[in-house]
Amino acid sequence: MTQPSPDVAPAPEEPRRAEPPTSLAAPSPWGARAASFRARILPWLERLPRLVVVVLRVVVALAAAAALGTYLVLGIIHLRHPFELEWMEGAMLDEVRRALGGQKLYVKPTLEYVPFLYAPLYFYVAAAFSKVLGVSFFSARLVSYLASLAAIALVARFVHRETGARFAALLAAGVFAGAYHLSAGFYDIARVDSLFVLLLLSALYVVRFRRSVGSGVAAAALFTLALLTKQSASVIFVPAAAYVLLTERRRGLVFAAAGTVMMVGSVLVLDRIHDGWFWYFVFWLPRQHPWVAQMWTDFWLEDLMRPLSVSCLLALFYMTVDRGVFSSSARPATEPGDPPGRGSAPDVATQAGEGSALAVASRPDQGAAFAVSLRDSRYFYLFAAAGMLGASWAGRLHAGGWPNVIMPGFAILAILFGLGLHAVLDAAAGLAAPRRHRFEAFLLAVAAIQFASLAYKPSRYVPKSRDARAGQHLIDKIRKIDGEVFVPAHGYLAHLAGKRAYAHQMAIIDILGIGGGPAGVDLRAEIEQAISQKRFNAIITDIGFFMPEIQRSYRRDGNIFDDEKVFWPVTGLHIRPDSLYVPKKK
C-alpha cells in the first residue's frame, strides 16, 4: 500500500450538504387540480383565436343574409300597396298609360301633360308588364323589384367570378342590399333606377369577362339600353371604352365604335320621332339646372365615407395595392373565358416572370405587355369605379339629385368590398397561425362594423293599412266632386276616381324653374289662365304650387284628412294632398 508523501498536506474534506427533510405528508390536491386544469384549458386557449374567427364569419354572414332577407320582404310588401310609396310614382303610371296607348312620350308641354326628364326604356318595359298584369303600381314596381334582385345577384356574381369565394360574394350582395335605405328606398319603387343599375352591371360584366370581338358589340348594346333608361350611362361608357381600348385594341375599337354609333343613332332617331322634344327634355333641360355646390365634398364625405367607410377603404386597398403582395392561394382562372388577373393570384406581369407592370413594359414589346398588365382585375375596377362613382357624383351635383342617383356607386362599392375583403384575407394566409387568426378576426370585426353602419328600421318603409283606407277615402271624395279636379302632385288619384289626370307638378317645375324657353312661357300662361278662369271645380294641393294664383280665384275649404298620420309616402318628398280649394263665388 502506497503511503502519502509527508510533504503533501491532506485535502480538506468538503462539508456535507444538509438534506432537506423528507415530508411524509401526501401531495397537495390543489396542485394536482391546477395542473390538470392547465392541461385541459391550454389547448382551448390555443384554439380560441380560430374559434373567434369562425364565430365572426358566422356573424358577418348572418348580417349579410339579414340585409338580403329584409329587402326581399320589403319588396314583397311594397308590391301589394295600392298607392304611392313616393310622390312621383303616380306620374310614372301616367307615362306607362301613354306608352300603352301609343302616344308619344315627348311632346310640347301643356297643362294636360308635361314629359319628365327621363329616357323612355323603363316606361316601355313597365308597359309590357302592364299589358299582362294591368296598369298598376304592382306591375310598375315589379319591374324595379326584379331588376334590383338581378342587380344584387350580379354584384355577387362579379365577386364570385373573380375570387371563387362564396363568402365574399355573399357579403358583397349583403352590402348592396343593405344600402337600400341609403338610396332613400328607391330600389323597388316605380322609378327607372334599378333597371338602369342592372343594365350597367350587365354591360360591365360583359366587358370584364368576355373576350370575343362580338362581346364588344353586346356590351355596346347594353350600354345603349342603359342610356335609354337614364342619360348618365354615357358617363360610365367613356371609362369602360378607354379600358377596353387600352387592353384589347381590336375589341376596344369595335366596342367604342359600336357604342358611339348605337347611342348617337338612338338619340337622333328618337329626337326625330318626337319632333325635337326628346332632346329638349332628356338632354337640354337637365343641363340648364344649377349645380349644388356643397355636393362637391358632401358626396364623398356624407354620402359615401360616413356610411360606407369600410367599403371605401377596402376598395382603395384592392385597386391600389400591388397584386404581387398577395399569396397565390386563390383558385386559378379555370372557367371558360376567364380573363387574366382573376382572383387574388399575382398579376399577369408577375406570372410572366417580372416583378411589376413597369418591368414588363420596359421590354421591346412593351405595348403588348402594358396591355396585358392592365388586364389585372384591379385596373378594370379602377376604370369601372371611375365611371360608376362619377355618374353618381354628377347626379348629386345636379339640383334635385336625390340619393337614388348614387345607386351605381353603391353597386360598385359593394363589389369592391367583397373583392377587397377577400384580397386581404388571402394576403393573411401566409402568416403563422396565431397571427393569421388574430388578423382575420380583426378584419371580420371591421366587416361587421360595416354591416352595423348599414342597419336601419325596416318599419320606416312599411305602409300601413290605414294609409290604404285613407287613399280610398280620398278617391271617393274626388269622385263625388262635380267637374274636373286638379291634383298637381298626385294626378293619378284623379284618374283612379274616373276623372282626367293633368300634368305632374314636378315635371312642370322642371321647366318653369329655369324658364324653359318659349315652351315654358306658354305653359305658365296656360296654367295661370286655367286657374284664373276657374276651370277646375276643385284643386287639391299640398305645397305652394301656383299658390298666389290659386288664392286669388279659389278659397280653402278645409283638409282632406282628419288624421295627421295617414297617407304620407314612405320615402321621397314628405307631402300629401291635404288642402282642398274650391272656386270663389262671384
Over residues 414-433, the pLDDT tens digits come to: 999 999 999 999 888 878 77
Residues 155-180 have pLDDT tens digits of 999 999 999 999 999 999 999 999 99
**Final residue of a domain: which of 461, 493, 512?**
461
Taking phi over 0 as left and psi of -120 to 50 as alpha, with beta for the rest, 487 belongs to beta
Q: For the residues 367-394, what does the mean pLDDT come to?
A: 80
**β-sheet bridge partners, residue 579:** 541, 559
> Could you tell me which residue, 521 or 28, shows the higher pLDDT?
521
Report how many domains make up the chain: 2
Query: Is the domain of 420 the same as that of 506?
Result: no
Mean residue pLDDT of the chain comes to 87
- The pLDDT tens digits of the residues spanning 273-307 come to 999 999 999 999 999 989 999 999 999 999 999 99
Measured between alpha carbons, how far is 52 from 285 in angstroms, rounded to an integer? 56
Assess contact for 233 and 196: CB atoms under 8 A.
yes
> How many CB atoms sit inside 10 A of residue 162's CB?
29
454 and 474 fall within a common domain: no
Cα atoms in the 13 Å half-sphere on the side-chain side of 398: 23
pLDDT score, position 121:
98
pLDDT tens profile 446-491 = 999 999 999 999 999 999 999 999 999 999 999 999 999 999 999 9
Quick check: pTM over 0.75?
yes
Task: Provide the 10 A C-beta neighbour count for residue 216.
Answer: 26
Residues 221 and 72 placed together within one structural domain of the fold: yes
At 175, list the grid cell. 352590402
Residue 344 and residue 260 in one domain: yes
Q: What percent of the chain has pLDDT over 70?
A: 83
Among candidates 75, 77, 92, 87, which has minimal Cα distance to 130?
92
Tell me, what amino acid is at 341?
A: G
CA 163, CA 323: separation in Å to the nearest integer?
Answer: 13
Q: pLDDT (tens digit, 9 = 90+) per residue, 117-155?
A: 999 999 999 999 999 999 999 999 999 999 999 999 999
Residue 236 lies in a domain: yes
Whole-angstrom Cα Rg for the chain: 34
Per DSSP, the residues of 116-178 read -SS-SHHHHHHHHHHHHH-SSHHHHHHHHHHHHHHHHHHHHHHHHHHH--HHHHHHHHHHHHH
Tens of pLDDT along 38-73?
556 555 545 667 888 899 999 999 999 999 999 999
* The pairing of beta strand 579-583 with beta strand 538-541: antiparallel
Per-residue pLDDT band at 328 (split at 50, 70, 90): very low
The reported pLDDT for the residue numbered 50 is 80
Q: Where are the alpha helices (DSSP H) in 20-85?
A: 29-80
Q: What range defines the domain where residue 435 resides?
A: 52-82+136-331+340-461
* Same domain flag for 419 and 479: no
582 Cβ contact list (under 8 Å, min separation 6): 537, 538, 554, 555, 557
- 476 and 453 both lie in a single domain: no
The whole-number pLDDT of residue 327 equals 43
Q: How far apart are alpha carbons 178 and 458 in whole angstroms?
A: 11
